[in-house]
Amino acid sequence: MHVLIVLDHPDPGSFSAAAAAAFMTGAKAAGHSTELADLHGEGFDPRWTMADIGADDSTPPPKDVLAEQARIERADALCLVFPLFWWGMPAMTKGWVDRVWTWGWAYDQLDDPEKSLQRSRTGVLLIPAGARSDEMEEEGYTAALETAWTTGTFGYFGFSPRRLELLCGSTGSRPRREALLARCHQIGLNLPDPEG
């Protein structure tokens, strides 16, 4: 498969960057080709502007959006890596999602998230989070994120199968972080084929 890894972190020394690298190494070891979209490194502009609003049948989307869509079209599997910020996506990932996965290209059925216009792709979210997994469960954040992202957003994108992996305790001890990175490597190594 061809695997696109979308990384949202400005710091190459971050845990998020290490998680993306570990996943990519695993995917390569399994024989997949890989491509990295380093959103900060490439200077992606997350701001949704009049140029995005104005795109229609006669006016194409902005060039940077078309370039991201072309990357996605090449891929059989996508892995998004971004840190959990205020129980949601950081602004960069949010803007990438808002701008790139457009109505008319990604989806048209607002009432049915399963009716993506995109072909089926394996979708993985690797989400470093400072909180512990028991805190996440008890407060309901894990269930909320599964609903909002796994069922909601990424249903519209045709991700099947979909996997949300919360890398809880990513600010913790070195052994903890190493164990999380080993998990990212394993997920890359054992990527399932797209379904359907």
Ligand X SMILES: Cc1cc2nc3c(=O)[nH]c(=O)nc-3n(C[C@H](O)[C@H](O)[C@H](O)COP(=O)(O)O)c2cc1C
Residues that bind ligand X (CB under 6 A): 9, 14-16, 83-87, 128-131, 170-171
Query: Considering beta carbons, is residue 19 or 78 the nearer one to ligand X?
Result: 19
Give the closest residue to 164 by CA, choosing from 145, 182, 137: 145
Cβ 122 to ligand X shortest distance, Å: 23
How far CA 143 is from CA of 2, 42, 131, 170, 178, in Å, comes to: 30, 33, 15, 19, 26
Which CB atom, from 83 or from 188, has the smaller least distance to ligand X? 83
- From CA 40, how far away is CA 60, in angstroms rounded? 24
Q: Which is nearer to ligand X, 100 or 168 (CB)?
A: 168
Q: How far is the CB of 83 from ligand X (least distance, A)?
A: 4
Count of CA atoms in the C-beta half-sphere (13 A) of 30: 20
- What is the smallest separation between the CB atom of 90 and ligand X, expressed in angstroms? 7
**If phi over 0 gives left and psi between -120 and 50 gives alpha, with beta otherwise, what is residue 116?**
beta
To ligand X, the closest distance from the beta carbon of 128 in angstroms equals 3
Q: Based on CB atoms, which residue is closest to ligand X, 12 or 54? A: 12
